[in-house]
Structure 1
Amino acid sequence: MSDPRQVIVVDAANVIGAKADGWWRDRAGAARRLLAGIAEWTTRLPESTEVAVVLEGAAKAAVDGTEPSAPRMTVILAERSGDDKIVDVVGTSEHERITVVTADRELRRRVTVLGADTAGPAWLRHELE
């Protein structure tokens, strides 16, 4: 029996902001470090699992052609609201299981209504260790 197709959608701004490590001085650098950790993590996930990382604002500068990448990791740049982009991704996903990583209560409510599960930034940070 094969694993169900799953996508983990990461609210990068929320995950980055959950740890006071000076991210506000270099948002693009913080996003690049998160992408590097997620790229490495995807190698330990089942092949049926994909990860979509949503970047917004100044963190989008992390995508400059030198950013970390992985075969099952997609980086999505939000033109406006990262939360709205995440809701769009969840609403159009054809995956059997969707998990959104965020601590944002309103975003959790919005994606849960669409059938997604949620996990907090601490869960992802633990997974990346």
Structure 2
Amino acid sequence: MRLFRRRSPLRALEATVSHVVVDAANVVGSRPDGWWRDRAGAARRLAEQIDATLRTDPEALADAVGVPPDDLHVPLVLEGAARRAEPDITDPRLEIVRAPADGDHTIAELARQLAEQGDDVVVVTADRGLRERVRAAGARAVGPGTLLHALTR
């Protein structure tokens, strides 16, 4: 499954893109705020928080996960009931990725594809198995608290 097109040879001359791949289920699940009653609503709120941060203070998000703020791309991976979320987002750096089935598989495959392009990839998740998979693919991993701290400051 190819999630993104390969970069063109000319793109190799451009700056590296920093991808912050967010495991929405894991990040949402790290806060005991009743998310289990409305998974789509919780995913929508997270997407809108990320969107607001990208519009107002992208450096906070980039600094938190350890990437440069230039050429930032944030794929937010939704799975299960959360795929129904329809967030009101405007920042083009945030991309909603609806996993066809297992979110972890989609995240691992996305991280692999992006790392193979030579881009900087950070995955936000606390899932130990997923962290091992994305590290083996050449990505880094940070916990949900790292992202959430950047969204709330």
Relative to the length of structure 2, the TM-score reads 0.77
1:15-53: CA deviation from partner (whole Å, max 9, x where unpaired): 000000000011111001000001012222223111000
The aligned residue for residue 79 of structure 1 is 100
Deviation of the 1:4 alpha carbon? 4.0
2:29 counterpart of 1:6:
no
Structure 1 runs not aligned, ≥5 long = none
1:26-105 alignment, distance < 5 Å: 26-43=38-55, 44-45=57-58, 46-63=69-86, 67-93=88-114, 94=117, 96-105=119-128
Give the secondary-structure state (helix, strand or coil) at the position aligned to 2:19. strand
Change in Cα spacing, 1:70 to 1:87, as seen in structure 2 (3 Å) is: same
Q: Which amino acid aligns with 2:131?
A: R
The aligned residue for residue 16 of structure 1 is 28
Change in Cα spacing, 1:127 to 1:3, as seen in structure 2 (3 Å) is: farther
Question: How many residues end up aligned between the 2 structures?
Answer: 126
Give the secondary-structure state (helix, strand or coil) at the position aligned to 2:91. coil
Q: Identity of paired residues, percent?
A: 44
CA RMSD between the two structures: 1.6
Whichever of the two has the greater Rg, that structure is 2
Stretches of 4+ aligned residues off by more than 3 angstroms: none
CA distance in 1, matches of 2:51, 2:91: 5
CA distance in 2, matches of 1:18, 1:95: 30
User: Are 1:53 and 1:76, in contact at CA under 8 Å, matched by a contact in 2?
Assistant: yes
Deviation of the 1:97 alpha carbon? 0.6
Q: Which amino acid aligns with 1:29?
A: G
The farther-off stretch of 13-22 and 39-48 is 39-48
Structure 2 runs not aligned, ≥5 long = 1-13, 59-68
Change in Cα spacing, 1:95 to 1:16, as seen in structure 2 (3 Å) is: farther
Change in Cα spacing, 1:70 to 1:95, as seen in structure 2 (3 Å) is: farther
CA distance in 1, matches of 2:23, 2:96: 11
More helix by share: 2
Give the secondary-structure state (helix, strand or coil) at the position aligned to 1:21. coil
